Amino acid sequence: MLVAGEALRVRFEDLAGLKHEAPSIEPLLVAFRDQFLIEAAASLVGGVRKSVDERVANWLLLLAAKSERDVLPITHEDISIALGVRRAGVTGALNGLQGLGYVELNRAEIVIRDLQGLAKVG
């Protein structure tokens, strides 16, 4: 995990058993699976078709949404590894986003200032 948060690990066998014991959970599991696949596909397509600026903006939006916080304790290096791009490209993208007032860059943290602005870039 790049950002601290809560996670739950469930063995497949336990989940399969729960599905039989509580059939009403199946639509939730299907919705989760579908959302996960949509995000994975979008990430793959984005890696090919989008600029580094767009990819960084999208990744920050996703991370902020998943962690439910505006202050992200991550570094430029963390982002470059996650996106598979050069650190210099990430630094350039983040400096541009900061210049637009969408983020604030601090040592080992990024503060999201304007989610709508980030969404326009991504």
- Distant-in-sequence, close-in-space partners of 28: CB < 8 Å, separation ≥ 6: none
Quote the DSSP letter at residue 108: T
What pLDDT does 88 receive? 97
- Looking at the whole model, is its pTM more than 0.85? no
Lowest mean pLDDT, pick from 15-29, 31-45, 86-100: 31-45
What pLDDT does 15 receive? 78
Domain locations along the chain:
10-49, 51-122
Cα-based torsion angle of the residue sequence 66, 70, 74, 80 in order, rounded to the nearest 10 degrees? 70
pLDDT, one tens digit per residue, over 78-105 is 999 888 899 999 999 999 999 999 999 9
User: Which listed CATH number (3.30.420.40, 3.20.190.10, 1.10.10.10, 3.40.50.300) goes with 51-122?
Assistant: 1.10.10.10
pLDDT score of 4 more than 80:
no
| Residues 67, 70: Cα–Cα separation, whole Å | 9
What pLDDT does 45 receive? 63
pLDDT, one tens digit per residue, over 39-84 is 777 666 666 678 999 999 999 998 898 888 899 999 999 999 888 8
What pLDDT does 46 receive? 62
- What is the average pLDDT value for the chain, to the nearest integer? 86
